[in-house]
Amino acid sequence: MTDIRFDGRVAIVTGAGAGLGRSHALELARRGAKLVVNDLGGAVDGSGGSVSAAQTVADEIKAAGGEAIAHGANVTKADEVADMVEQAVKAWGKVDILVNNAGILRDKSFTKMTLEDFEAVVDVHLIGSVTCTKAVWDMMKENNYGRIAMTSSSSGIYGNFGQSNYGAAKMGLVGLMNVLHLEGRKYDIRVNTLSPTAYTRMTEGLIPEEAGKLMTAESVTSGLIPLVAEDAPNRLILCAGAGGYAAAKVYETPGIYLEPDKQTAENVMANLDRITDASGQEEYREGGQQTMKFLTAAVKHFGVKLG
């Protein structure tokens, strides 16, 4: 088995001052990448800030013989992100890899959650990932190479009580990946999503300590590395935690076709069992596949020829 290496590659990892981001940065550097270690240095809820956490990780990389710089950009601020990318280009001429990992938590039931708490979490996870991706996208297109990893969560893919803000942001990242992998594939920009489960300061108190010992950040990073490798897949949601690795996929059932005079809400309701029948379901990789499925059924009914 050939080792995965990143010699000559330049990577930015956001939220890399601790937890998963730190683990990702250290492992990328160990495998030869030059690192921009980004961290605002704030608390779990996003308050405060200091570049010291990022600098500590950068110093750790350099002490091990690697190359790294620290940057305290707030990922929601385009000017700070632009400066971070500029520093990477000044140091090494390019950015090949972006790991969107930065995040905050403000958990509350939807009833108790303020709009400010909702917006703050969406801003960091979703808009922050958009901002960082936008800052490197055109450069990756010009270089005909890019590897981008989003960080989603089972809270978004499946749901988790008290995390409407977090879940909405995390599922939004899946939608972002679904579009960007299409726009980037002509330029060998591959976009994937990591859905991690680890025992970090963001999950401390939510998971029993003994169970948490099994959920190492390093086990999650082992899932991240293939998503940004030279031979990375494209549009994969890789779930990783405690040594378990799985793919999350969205499937669509074959569904039904209703003739024009039967296209009523009552008939849709009456046919929900058939509509939701999973037999023959498929994974679609582009939105147009659904359109063609529905249109094909309608065209068949009316005997219309396409094209």
* Residues identified as active-site: 166
Say how far apart CA 244 and CA 220 lie, in whole Å. 9
DSSP class of 261: G
Say how far apart CA 140 and CA 231 lie, in whole Å. 16
- The candidate with the shortest Cα–Cα distance to 120, out of 27, 42, 218, 38, is 42
Residue at 123: amino acid letter: D
CA 199 from centroid of its chain's CA atoms? 18
CB atoms near residue 296 (< 10 Å): 12
Say how far apart CA 7 and CA 206 lie, in whole Å. 38
Strands 10-13 and 244-247: unpaired
Say how far apart CA 230 and CA 26 lie, in whole Å. 18
Q: What three-state secondary structure class fits 262?
A: helix
If you count DSSP H runs as helices and E runs as strands, how many of each does the chain have, helices first?
A: 12, 10
